[in-house]
Amino acid sequence: MNDKFGLAGRVVAVIGAGSGIGEAVARACAQQGASVACLDIKGNEAERVADSIREAHREAYGDTLDIVDGAATQAALDAVKQRLGRLDAVVCTPSINVRKPILQYTEEELDRVVRVNVKGNFNVLQAAGRILTAQGSGSIVLFSSIRSQVVEPGQAVYAATKAAIVQMVRTAAAEFASRGVRVNAVGPGVVETPLTAPIKANADWYGAYAAKNALQRWAAPEEMAWPTVFLLSDAASYITGTILFVDGGWLAIDGRFSPPGMGS
């Protein structure tokens, strides 16, 4: 039964592997037996992670990739298959956020967030889809967010892009299923990563976010990695076109008010 959750003999490309959730996913995939291509816009960080995976006697390499470049994204994933002999799964974690009210957003900021979060993820979905559908097997996991479902002031563009990722995943799942490829998304809650460092620096903001979920705390990147490994594994062989929320119960209790005598 444990073999269903393993990735032995498989090759996984992890985009965003240089830090945060992507790094945790790369390490988790290696621990489950996969050979890992660590790709990141910061190639030196991707190589650092790959070096540490190799020190644990797992096959890995690091390279530079900016997902907003469609041709480069295709070339990078083609290179993974050529270099490691196959490609079984692709995970894409990068996104950016500019937290601003709608009336203060600049056109440049709008373009920047949409370019990375929507265009970049589409480029990955397309490039991975071309390879995996041609071979008739594989799994793709993109990263959405709780912001695909619930919002707050200052999150208009980010939330819109995270909802867009969900719809791209659903469409790709419908288009790729007949050719043996599953496509899913992970929807994190609040996770301690470089992207959320400005929030952690503000104690009131950090504490307020922790209080919004049932577990009353932030997640570590590793807590996003293992659900991702599950979606890549044979244990999730009948799961496609869905989003797996890993949010500590945020969506379950969002906006909760406990009447007197009804709280825990």
What pLDDT, in 10s, does the model give residues 162-202? 999 999 999 999 999 999 999 999 999 999 988 788 888 99
Cα dihedral angle (244, 13, 159, 251), rounded to 10 degrees? 20
d(CA 215, CA 80): 38
* Per-residue pLDDT tens digits for 93-143: 999 999 999 999 999 999 999 999 999 999 999 999 999 999 999 999 999
Q: Does 196 reside within a domain? A: no
Q: Of 101, 208, 209, whose CA–CA distance to 154 is shortest? A: 101
Position 264 in a domain: no
Query: For position 197, what pLDDT does the model report?
Result: 85
**Domain-embedded: residue 39:** yes
Q: Which ranges constitute the DSSP H helices of the chain?
A: 20-31, 43-55, 70-84, 107-114, 121-135, 156-176, 197-200, 203-211, 222-232, 250-253
Q: Residue 25 — left, alpha, or beta (φ > 0 → left; ψ -120 to 50 → alpha)?
A: alpha
Q: What is the total count of domains within the chain?
A: 1
Cα–Cα distances in Å, from 103 out to 118, 155, 178?
22, 12, 44
Q: Write the CB contacts of 255 (distance below 8 Å, at least 6 apart in sequence).
A: none
Model confidence at 81: pLDDT above 90: yes
Please report whether residue 81 resides in a domain.
yes
Please give the residue range of the domain that contains residue 233. 2-190+223-247
Residue 150 lies in a domain: yes
Cβ distance 233 to 5 under 8 Å?
yes
Task: Enumerate residues 6+ apart whose C-beta is below 8 A from 120.
Answer: 67, 68, 73, 92, 94
What is the value of pTM for the model shown?
Answer: 0.95
Cα angle for residues 182, 43, 227 (degrees, 5° grid): 30
Residue 127, both tokens = 């490039």
pLDDT at 263: 59
For residue 49, the domain's CATH number is 3.40.50.720
| Inside any domain, residue 209 | no
Joined together, the tokens standing for residue 103 give 């009336």
Is 1 a residue whose pLDDT tops 60? Answer: no
Give the active site residues. 158
Residue 31 lies in a domain: yes
Say yes or no to pLDDT of 238 above 70. yes
Residue 254 placed within a domain:
no
